[in-house]
Chains A and B, each alone.
Chain A
């Protein structure tokens, strides 16, 4: 039970949602699936006089092709991702990430991409994966619509950069070559939320050299870290590549995140390992031809 007074709104369109949000933006909580927000309200960790629940806004749950990519609505659930068409690159990574979300099939049915992102918890899977896929966040506010790199929407641990009265409506993922993807997370048991996550996407050229690579590490710092691994481009030898990935990740984790599950020094120590394993996974994935056999 939520203790304070509550004005509950169930809009059916994005326009209604933004109008509802604009009434008392600083005293309004937006619910996607509710998996974070509802317990926060019930425990009093957050208080809000108004709740805008997006579950009836059909357009926010859509996954659709755009001119240059795919648009995921903010209330697309993990189960939507798991069930979705996994033939194309971005969806494969998202589906892989979604299958492993902590909390069972129920959470996969209820939790949303947008909700997870805006909650901005370092331990969450979705932000790491979306940032690795070069997602652009689409935000609707009183001033209109804007797009920004998803990572810019994360201001800090548990803090999104949404302005009051702004609504995250979805993510645009650019069309990408279907190279190799990797997603690895480190937990301390099934009940634990991830301590460190790493998502990566890479492409090999016809001679097997690294042509493109994007590596993001989450959980080790307050917001997901895009690791600069440009030094491995053009490389071919896995051992050297993976060693460099570890080095670059280690150097990037300067202010490690700490919480009740793990302190900063541990996260800093294992982040390079998790990053390396994600890249190793992606390399193996890239070499697998479309019929599933290794080249």
Chain B
């Protein structure tokens, strides 16, 4: 008999008191005796040959311990293993080194590294390194990069195309012929950055005597990180210990493949000192993502029913990298169609390399872009047919009776009730009233817009051939004192999943939360796992924790039954810290006593069972399908959360400034373990979507050098930019996962971005203006209105 007493409880974050009193140690708070500091010399050119690196002046500066150039590093490490090698999917492989050799392919690329006694001295020395470059022609956007005579970033490649692929089902050309309407359009999504509050920080300590590397760092995935370091440094994994201290936010940035991850280790080995590197905010903003152009066509009938969609996605990746950034274009292509019943879908994606900093993972990992595309198409269908955009959604969203539903791209949607969620959100925002009010406001000259968006968030991916696992493992142990330790292969970017896992285990084992610790992020202590990404932690970490807790619980109940002279484990329940006889609740023993007895009386009380008071279990979601179907499609996701957004904006027509008046979001991530944490994830995700819609953009100058290198120019949303976010929930459990949990953490982003985009276009519609690119900066909106006015005047 199992109990889930804490399931659904808004338990406070574990160790919250330590956070609140400044006693949590992030990577940048760690100190080691003899710790030295690294600074990186970066290319100032977008594309150039490295003629010479002069380190003499730098070497002479106070405190300098060592310097390393790309040539010197060649002998010290292998190329960085890829997180997701495009070659695995038929794309081009690029050898990525931790420091550039011979040529640089983006401004900001690491060219040399310095180690000094203090961070200030390292910085001064880095600035004193002189690099002579011979500039080469640079391609600074995808279009130029694809031109026939374009300069090539990688001479071994025939073109600047890293990878291309297609998912197709159904005959779009036929659908277009059959349909009442065919529209085409272009959607341009801007370059943005994950920008967690904590920049990347790494600390490596090589122990020459023991021949072991200890590595602490801001990584989402400690075990794969260990593999990266072992392979690159030609060590065995058992020589490498990776610890991921509490993270100050990740949002995809901290997935492995960054050159500095390896650099600190190389330099520690070279110098015999622990070496720490903490990136500056300007360095952190080099990490890019999302920049893509969609050229789409949609075929639909007068009744709004979409017959087919065709999309060509061209992603401007920046230079190649060892990180998984390019995968976001692949995922975007898989997610096109989202939750709409459109079986005819042809999507091609092309990832193009250009002379700018490479894509790193970002929140949404491509799904947010697919959602934006679909919601744009739906709005245009509404415009063309004259139907209300809500009605178009009603007529096209997959209905609740169709699950599990295989999309045109091969994804097996697990469960959902999209129509019900849509109704709830519309009711909450008061859609009909809002439209009536809008008419009145419009008549008074105000540009109020209402935007709706449906959002599908495939989560919990397993990518074949990569250390991106869809399963994970947990060990649950109980010590003789009764203290429970949970060792998990998942990690937390700070969202509280460790607490939610604790709730699950505490519930199943019947122990109070105070007697339970969750240990994450240690490659030596924790079972092999894939960390956090793709909102997987509760599905895989929670799922495996439940299995392990049940297995251990069974053993505890078996021992307790013997102590209580009961018939067997099923006669005992674990609750409130006690093993209780079901038939007579007055008979109970503290669980701690059971644990102690199991440890000390194994040959009496634990005969016939495995006496170890621990259990290690793996949870593998049954619905990830890697065997291709008859169309060659796979379904690599374990769950499909969804959301519906309604945004009300007001555009100031004289300045193009958009104010967000209301934002309502309905969210469905199946069974929720801790509603406070899920709410927090959704609020954060919606806020990030607002930033993507309105203010965030990475910009470069004509030479390809980043201009938006701080928070005065890369504009993140602040509290005064947002109204109260009105959040409601729905729960359609997954029929496949443990407890029916789905992933949470990325839902909110794409939908908020799309809803606001739609709202702005709604606000501009009566003026005959629209925008087809983001962000919806005041200048862009202003220009759209001016252009529309000119067209009217003409």
Residues of chain A having any CB pair with chain B under 8 Å: 1-4, 43-44, 186, 188-193, 195, 260-263, 266, 269-270, 273-274
Contact = CB atoms under 8 A, between A and B. Distances in A.
6 contacts: A2-B120, A3-B124, A189-B694, A189-B718, A195-B778, A260-B707
Contact of B699 (A190, A260, A273): A260
Interface residues of B, number: 32
A4 B712 CA distance: 24
Contact of B120 (A3, A190, A263, A274): A3
B708 A191 contact: no
A264 to B, nearest CB: 11
Of the listed residues B119, B719, B777, the one surrounded by the most CB atoms of chain A closer than 10 A to its CB is B777
Nearest to B719: A190
A266 B127 contact: no
Given A189-B721, A260-B708, A1 B713 contact: no
A146 B721 CA distance: 44
Given A2-B120, A260-B713, A190 B718 contact: yes
B657 A188 contact: yes
Contacts, number: 67
Contacts of B712: 191-193
A270 B777 CA distance: 14
Interface string B107-124: 000000000001110011
B718 A186 contact: no
A111 to B, nearest CB: 14
Contacts of A261: 713
A44 B680 CA distance: 38
Contacts of B589: none
B695 A191 contact: yes
Given A192-B695, A263-B779, 19 more contacts: A1-B120, A2-B120, A3-B124, A4-B124, A186-B778, A188-B695, A188-B715, A188-B777, A189-B695, A190-B719, A190-B720, A191-B718, A192-B712, A193-B712, A195-B778, A262-B778, A266-B778, A269-B786, A270-B654
B296 to A, nearest CB: 28
B725 interface: no
A3 B118 CA distance: 11
Contact of B119 (A1, A43, A44, A270): A1
B716 interface: yes
Interface string B95-134: 0000000000000000000000011100110010000000
Given A191-B711, A260-B707, A44 B127 contact: yes
B655 A191 contact: no
7 nearest A-B pairs in the assembled complex, by CB-CB distance: A1-B120, A190-B718, A3-B124, A191-B715, A266-B779, A189-B695, A273-B654
A188 B120 contact: no
Of the listed residues A188, A195, A263, the one surrounded by the most CB atoms of chain B closer than 10 A to its CB is A188
Contacts of B123: 1, 3
B782 interface: yes
B107 to A, nearest CB: 15
B196 interface: no
A270 B713 contact: no
Interface string B643-661: 0000000000011110000
Interface in B381-406: none
A274 B119 CA distance: 45
Of the listed residues B657, B695, B708, B778, the one surrounded by the most CB atoms of chain A closer than 10 A to its CB is B778
B657 A186 contact: yes
A43 B127 CA distance: 11
Interface in B632-681: 654-657
B655 A273 contact: yes
Interface string B766-794: 00000000000111001100100000000
Interface in B49-103: none
Contacts of A43: 282
B577 interface: no
Contacts of A193: 712
B735 interface: no
Interface string B688-720: 000000110001000000011001110111111
Contacts of A1: 118-120, 123
A28 to B, nearest CB: 20
A288 B124 CA distance: 58
Contact of A190 (B655, B708, B717, B783): B717
A273 B127 CA distance: 45
A192 B127 CA distance: 30
Contacts of B786: 269
A273 B654 CA distance: 7
A78 B720 CA distance: 20
A186 B655 contact: yes
Nearest to A270: B655
A4 B62 CA distance: 11
A196 B654 CA distance: 13
A188 B713 contact: no
Given A1-B120, A262-B779, A266-B779, A191 B716 contact: yes
Contacts of A269: 782, 786
B721 A190 contact: yes
A239 B778 CA distance: 26
Contacts of A2: 120
Contacts of A266: 778-779, 782-783
Interface in B711-751: 711-713, 715-721
Nearest to A3: B124
Nearest to B126: A3
Contacts of A270: 654-656, 778, 782
B465 to A, nearest CB: 40
B715 A192 contact: yes
B678 to A, nearest CB: 26
